[in-house]
Amino acid sequence: MEGTIIDHGPSVDPRHRVDIHSKETFMVRTLCYKVIDLNSHDDASPAHLEDILNRQAEDGWALVTSFQHTHTALQVGSTMAPVPGLVSTVLVFKRDDE
């Protein structure tokens, strides 16, 4: 049957169910987020980052994004300025609690 397209009908969204009385009921879905800010004083070796990612995955957390953040400080005269050498890596995780 190579090259034949078989239609299995419409796809079903598993997040909602329809009972025999045609009433729709929806499951509640909660998304939780966790942010880990690794500053320059933390061990930033690839092995340490891998360990953090693996521990979070074991606890059900999935990495959503990561970015570097330059910290700022209020200086005399009320101006905000970047703090030299104070850059941190931010990891954002998500867990889908159904």
Domain locations along the chain: 23-97
pTM over 0.85: no
Question: What does the block give as tokens for 51?
Answer: 């360990």
Compute how many other C-beta atoms are within 10 angstroms of the C-beta atom of residue 88.
17
Tell me the per-residue pLDDT of 62-83, one tens digit each, with 9 for 90 and over. 999 999 888 777 677 777 777 7
pLDDT band at 93 (very low <50, low <70, confident <90, very high): very high
